[in-house]
Chains A and B, each alone.
Chain A
Amino acid sequence: MLEIKGLTGGYQQDVPVIRDVSFEVQAGEWVGLIGMNGAGKSTVLKHILGLLEAQAGTISLRGETLKSDRSAFRAGIAYVPETPKLYQELTLREHLQLTAMAYGLESVVYEERSERLLHTFRMKDHLDEFPGTFSKGMQQKVMILCAFLLQPDLLIVDEPFVGLDPLAIHALLELLEEMRRQGTGILLSTHILGMAETYCDRFVMMNRGEIALHGTLAQMGEQAKLPGASLDDLFIHVVKGSAR
């Protein structure tokens, strides 16, 4: 479904931050994007979202690229960023309404989904409040609510657990599972390796802008010549190996 081939890119034209990155995310699959700070995870995500222009390589979603059909490509992706970025002038209710309008959601579907999400994340009492009064965790919940209001082909989630209370983390994981069952592909960037190991089907481990290991845990163990290793062990192996 999401297909990335030979992606090279970065923030400046002649200074690539990521080099020759290729991987796929299939429908109903949960892929973990793992790496140290500065490994290039967020740069990869920004390229997929079209916030950065690739220097080389292609990114397609169900065969469409951003150039071939911008609207269709965008409509297929929902995104929860690492740092909540909200419209300071809009209330929580208006954030949801704007998202629903931008993605052309039917009123009935919007009502039903928003009601359920607000209840799940205990945000119903804050519907008419502005993000300026929200804690970081609550702001992150607003981003999650907006993303889950849609049923996209691909959900990109960047460090979603930071700042969330345990109840919200539990609810988020349940919703991600539910979306996966409904056929949404999930690309999760995280540092919480234990959680990634439990939930993800496959992994892409990045180091210094390149893919160091990829595949299932077993496949990565074989690639690193550490059969049976945990995700933690593999991560340390990759980081220490590159340091040498």
Chain B
Amino acid sequence: MRTMDELFASRLRSAWRNGLLYALKAGRNVMVPMSVPFVAVGVAFVYRYLLEIVPDRFPSELFLAVVLAYFLTRCTVRTFVKEPDLVFLLPAEARMKDYFQRAVRYSSWMGGLSFSFVMWFALPFYLFELGDFASFLLAWVLLVPVKVWNVREQWLGVIWREKAWVTGLRFVANAGLAWMILHGFWFAVLLPFALFPLRKRWPAGYPWSELLLLETKAIARYLALASFFVEVPERLNRVRTWKLGKAPLSWERANPYLFLYTRTFLRHSEYFGITVRITLTAFVALFFISHVVIGLVVYLLALYLTGKQLPNLVGERQYPDVLALYPLPEEAKLKGYSHLAFGLMLVQSLVLTLPVLLAGLPWWYLPCGLLLAYLLAFFDLPTRFRERMEGKKA
């Protein structure tokens, strides 16, 4: 029989094993290792370009403090709880303190590690704008414990069911702390630890439903990321309950799959969220770019990435069996899928035309974008869709 400690260790091992399996699968996908150097070079190129155009009076210290505060505040506590735990582990709740302490310790390590990645990504900006390598190292060493403190606060916030404004307050505090540390007031790092004794202690019981929900969301995020590179059978679905029109739109009436895929896209938090993030990133980047070729690359890359994520949307595993029973030809799926993809990229290319024009970039980005959208939606995506269908049949 397993002890609680062994249970946590076994679940942790299983989670890592699954993660590694997906990483190996992604590695076997020829496109992934091939595209990594291109993406890295592209990011480095754009990063360098952005550094060169930072205005002299740009509030770099404050900017970096706010960015770091965001990553300090944003914490995930992995508890690895599962739905059956509500039945099987609930009676053992009183003995689960060690289990959850290990979960918080593990999450602190992972939080520190992920925050370190952010810090090292910020290194060129720091060296370019703020100081030397030694002062960066000091800031890094001081901010990692702040991240660990945040993970613990996040955990206490969950189990004490704290309101969202407490997290907001923590963000403000983090921004202040990060700014002071970047400014050289290193002793500011002691402030959170001075607050420790004032904090409520470990509770007697746990909010199991909330913990389960948070764990489900965390897994959904990882699977959404993995689904960019490999097919993920057990994708979890978080739904935004947005109200759309009461009747199908005129162009949806003759195309039931377009009706279904449009709603899946809009309400499925991962697909919609990814597209919005891609669009926003490109929108902001285009404001600062004056180089015609780089601007065009960013503009088209945003459309390409949006098109690239869409094949996951039609993965039939996420839909109930009745989808397979509709008296419609397979080509109807393809039609709905292509129309949605083109519609999305059309809207996206129009939205991105605004920063293009404001930044003084040429108007012909729009026809280029529309051409790419057309080619992706009606040639590239259908080919990949057919390959997927044939693979499934085989």
Contact = CB atoms under 8 A, between A and B. Distances in A.
Interface of A: 49-51, 70-75, 77, 79, 81, 85-91, 93-94, 97-98, 101-104, 128, 130, 132, 146
A74 B239 contact: no
Given A79-B322, A85-B321, A130-B239, A97 B259 contact: yes
Nearest to B243: A128
A74 B260 contact: no
B320 A102 contact: no
Nearest to B261: A89
Contacts of B319: 87
Contacts of B267: 89
A85 B239 contact: no
Contact of B329 (A49, A71, A91): A71
B320 A75 contact: no
B322 A146 contact: yes
Interface of B: 237, 239, 241, 243, 246-248, 252-253, 256, 259-260, 263-264, 267-268, 319-322, 324-329
A146 B320 CA distance: 13
B317 to A, nearest CB: 12
B243 A51 contact: no
A49 B325 contact: yes
Contacts of A77: 325
Contacts of B243: 91, 128
Contacts of A130: 239, 241
A50 B327 CA distance: 12
Q: Of B241, B252, B325, which is in contact with the most chain A CB atoms at under 10 Å from its CB?
A: B325
13 contacts: A49-B321, A71-B327, A71-B328, A73-B327, A74-B325, A74-B326, A86-B320, A89-B239, A90-B260, A93-B246, A128-B243, A130-B241, A146-B322
Given A51-B324, A103-B327, 18 more contacts: A70-B327, A71-B328, A71-B329, A72-B327, A74-B326, A74-B327, A75-B327, A79-B322, A85-B320, A86-B320, A87-B260, A87-B264, A94-B259, A94-B263, A101-B253, A101-B259, A128-B243, A132-B241
A135 to B, nearest CB: 17
A81 B239 contact: no
Given A74-B326, A98-B256, A102-B256, A51 B248 contact: no
A102 B326 contact: yes
Nearest to A129: B241
Contacts of B239: 88-89, 130, 132
Nearest to A146: B322
Contacts of B248: 97, 101
Contacts of A75: 327
A110 to B, nearest CB: 11
Q: Which of B239, B241, B256, B322 has the most chain A CB within a 10 Å cutoff?
A: B322
Nearest to A86: B320
B264 A89 contact: yes
B44 to A, nearest CB: 38
Contact of B320 (A87, A94, A128): A87
